[in-house]
Amino acid sequence: MKYLLVISILFAAISGATAQEKKVEFETFQLSETVYMLKGAGGNVGISAGEDGLYIIDDQVSPITEQLLEAIKKVSDKPIRFVINTHYHADHTGGNEAIGGTGAVIVAHDNIRKRMSTEQVSIFMDSTTPPYPKGALPVLTFNDRMSLHLNGESATAYYVANGHTDGDSIIHFPASNVIHMGDMYFNGLYPYVDLDAGGSIQGVVAAVDLALSLADESTRIIPGHGPLATKEDLEGYRHFLSKAVSNVQALIDQGMDLPQAIAARPTEEWDETLGKVWITPPQFVTFIYNSLQGIHHFTPLPKDGAEQD
């Protein structure tokens, strides 16, 4: 799938064609007695490991599933009982089919199963993704929140509507004081707001507010992409989002159309630090502009220089 290839290249510096041959360097961070964060090729993975067994949050890209499982075994060699998907994108669900085939139960929001069960068209990616194989689909879904009571604590998945997509969840481990944000939080880069899949900048802000309401100064926050974060980091991200939205709204209030808003460079103060990794400044402005205007799809950018350097 083109989406898989693009995400793999951008976030892992490997392609789907070469991932199986290239060894992925995994990093594991122990955040509490039972909760871990695992970085590899794709979205950051959360792990709960303890006396009741093992479950994970997201499972990266499909070409490296065997390597991922070997990395997880270094935390615990127990079978994976559950996989919670924070959303449907391939860099977070790529291991579903293989891990589900071992007996793990795939858990996700209702909308994730709907999107994975049907063809998805992305204007942003200029691609069409076919339905996932049956074995990759979530078999247990929820519509608001869901809790797992394992390894001495309860972890709750909260649905956050129309944020990165229309099916995102954040997962809170109160006893361990850890929050997994999925792609509601891109730490160190402009966020991808998947307008074509029901996302909106307003939903991203609301999800960050929910996470901040659950956090304290000692909370460890796992972003979908980027390094482990603190509440202070997430507060900085919230401030950046708020100011960027306000800047774009001011241009809308002046009557600017999208090309004019892009040319006005409303995100200029962050472009050098956040706009050089993947999402470009014009793309990020488009996410905000369309969200504020109630436009529920990405608007392709002109190919005549609208991209900012």
Q: Where are the domains of the chain?
A: 2-235
Which pLDDT does position 10 carry in this prediction? 42
State the DSSP H helix or E strand holding residue 226, giving kind and residue range, or none if neither.
Answer: none
Q: What is the pLDDT of residue 303?
A: 67
pLDDT of residue 21: 54
Provide the b/e sequence for 71-103 (b: ≥16 CB within 10 Å).
bbeebbeeebbbbbbbbbbbbbbbbbbbbbeee
- The tens place of each residue's pLDDT in the chain, 309 residues long, gives 333 333 443 444 333 444 455 799 999 999 999 999 999 999 999 999 999 999 999 999 999 999 999 999 999 999 999 999 999 999 999 999 999 999 999 999 999 999 999 999 999 999 999 999 999 999 999 999 999 999 999 999 999 999 999 999 999 999 999 999 999 999 999 999 999 999 999 999 999 999 999 999 999 999 999 999 999 999 999 999 999 999 999 999 999 999 999 999 999 999 999 999 899 999 999 999 999 999 999 999 876 444 444
Residue in 17, 13, 117, 7 with CA at minimum distance from that of residue 58: 7
Phi, psi of 53 (to 5 degrees): 125, -155
- Which element (helix H / strand E) includes 106? strand 105-109
Look at residue 309 in the predicted model and tell me its pLDDT: 40
CATH of 2-235, one of 3.60.15.10, 3.40.50.300, 3.40.190.10, 3.40.50.720: 3.60.15.10
Q: How far apart are the C-alpha atoms of 142 and 242, rounded to whole Å? A: 30
Q: Are 301 and 282 in contact (CB under 8 A)?
A: yes
The structure's pTM equals: 0.92
For 31, 65, 293, the CA distances from 95, given in Å and listed in that order, are 23, 5, 36
What does the alpha-carbon distance between residue 135 and residue 159 come to, in Å, rounded to a whole number? 23
Which residue has 């979205």 as its token pair?
Answer: 43
Look at residue 7 in the predicted model and tell me its pLDDT: 44
Cα distance between residue 25 and residue 114, in whole Å: 33
